[in-house]
Amino acid sequence: MLQIAYISTARDNVSQELLDSILGVSRRNNAIAGITGLLVSGGRRFLQVLEGPDQAVLATYARIQADPRHRGFVLITCQGVSERAFGDWSMAYREGGIHVADDKLESAVAALTAKIADPNLRAQFSGFAKIHAKAA
């Protein structure tokens, strides 16, 4: 099983309506492909982990990279894992932004990632949340 973590930046501002649409399609497609993961947004930045069958994860990541709404991809990790960090989540999600109080993004991300066994993966989400909560 493969797990990829990356950061990307939206080319334009992302409305809640667009984000809801993206999440709906992603959850449906991920469930079909056997992919689980977590998506956290902070302003125009996204931190996402995808995990599942190797080829399904690689194909999903390639499709996301080809989406013209994204730019500036930074691959954080790409590793084989023996078990899922995100259970049966087709795509858990947490948004951060100017309408979210500073501590809410950090505490929500901490709750979402509390059961992740990999301390480095938890730290990536925690650091992302801290940076984007302060920027809000």
List C-alpha distances in Å: 87 to 31, 35, 50, 54: 12, 10, 12, 16
Q: Between 2.60.260.20, 3.30.70.100, 3.90.1150.10, 3.40.640.10, what CATH number should domain 2-97 receive?
A: 3.30.70.100
Bridge partners for 62 per DSSP = none
Predicted TM-score of the model (pTM)? 0.74
pLDDT at 64: 92
Q: For 27-46, write each residue's pLDDT tens digit.
A: 899 889 999 988 887 777 88
Q: What integer best gives the mean pLDDT of the chain?
A: 78
Show me where the domains of the chain are located.
Answer: 2-97
Q: Is the dihedral of CA 89, 133, 96, 45 positive or negative?
A: negative
42, 135 contact by CB (below 8 A)? yes
Residue 2 has pLDDT above 60, yes or no: yes
pLDDT at 112: 66
- Return the structure tokens found at 87: 């259970």
Q: By mean pLDDT, which of 28-37, 44-53, 119-128 is the weakest?
A: 119-128
Distance CA 130, CA 126 (A): 6
